């Protein structure tokens, strides 16, 4: 499956780091061949190692393997644009759909920024042969695998952000309306108290006025 390929990484299979030189690779290949010729390696294992080494033996085959995968030819500019464009158009639609509700709108900006960053990286890798892998940290990972890991982690990142924003979302408009309603209720209670107090004071004022008139 393209999205989660089942093929093994030939660098890891051959124990040949991308940091090493071709001379070091040739020495390891000669070591494997020596074991095969000595009969300590099965023909099946040797065929697997030999076919794996064919992917990185020459500069052209190594470039095709590193950037396009085993058994693939280099895509034309048009094919690259179509493939990359379809993937990112699909994710633009998905992000728009999952961040349309008010509770998840805050995740929209972050998701689109991450998508644009991933798209810029992929276009750079595909069109300029840029290698984003830090070989000292990940000596067997190819640029193609690096992009595939980006494709795998991006959905996790988006849906994690959407979930977090949804859980901690506070509708400020509703909160403001509730505050106003609460204040209105308190004001009504205050008005009622003042009116009742005023009613109590009116009889007292009336009796005081009558007393003054009699005098």
Judge contact between 115 and 88, C-beta under 8 A. Answer: yes
Give the position of tokens 């500019």. Answer: 77
- Tell me the pLDDT tens digit for each residue of 26-73: 999 999 999 999 999 999 999 999 999 999 989 999 999 999 988 788
pTM: 0.72
Among 162, 159, 174, 158, residue whose Cα is nearest residue 105: 162
CATH of domain 1-72: 1.10.287.110
- Tell me the pLDDT tens digit for each residue of 128-140: 999 999 999 999 9
- Tell me the pLDDT tens digit for each residue of 67-93: 998 878 888 888 888 989 999 999 999
């Amino acid at each position: 499956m393209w999205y989660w390929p089942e093929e093994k990484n030939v660098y890891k299979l051959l124990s040949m780091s991308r940091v090493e030189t071709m001379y070091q690779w040739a020495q390891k290949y000669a070591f494997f061949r020596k074991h095969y010729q000595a009969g300590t390696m099965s023909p099946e294992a040797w065929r697997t190692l030999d076919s794996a080494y064919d992917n990185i033996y020459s500069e052209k085959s190594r470039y095709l393997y590193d950037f396009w995968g085993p058994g693939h030819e280099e895509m034309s500019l048009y094919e690259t644009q179509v493939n990359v464009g379809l993937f990112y158009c699909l994710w633009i639609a998905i992000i728009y759909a999952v961040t349309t509700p008010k509770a998840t709108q805050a995740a929209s900006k972050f998701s689109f920024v991450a998508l644009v960053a991933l798209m810029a990286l992929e276009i750079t890798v595909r069109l300029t042969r840029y290698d984003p892998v830090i070989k000292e940290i990940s000596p067997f990972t190819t640029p193609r695998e690096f992009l595939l890991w980006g494709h795998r982690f991006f959905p996790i990142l988006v849906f994690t952000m959407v979930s977090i924003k949804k859980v901690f979302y506070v509708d400020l408009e509703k909160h403001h309306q509730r505050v106003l309603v609460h204040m209105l209720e308190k004001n009504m209670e205050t008005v009622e108290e003042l009116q009742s107090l005023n009613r109590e004071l009116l009889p007292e004022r009336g009796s005081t006025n009558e007393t003054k008139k009699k005098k």
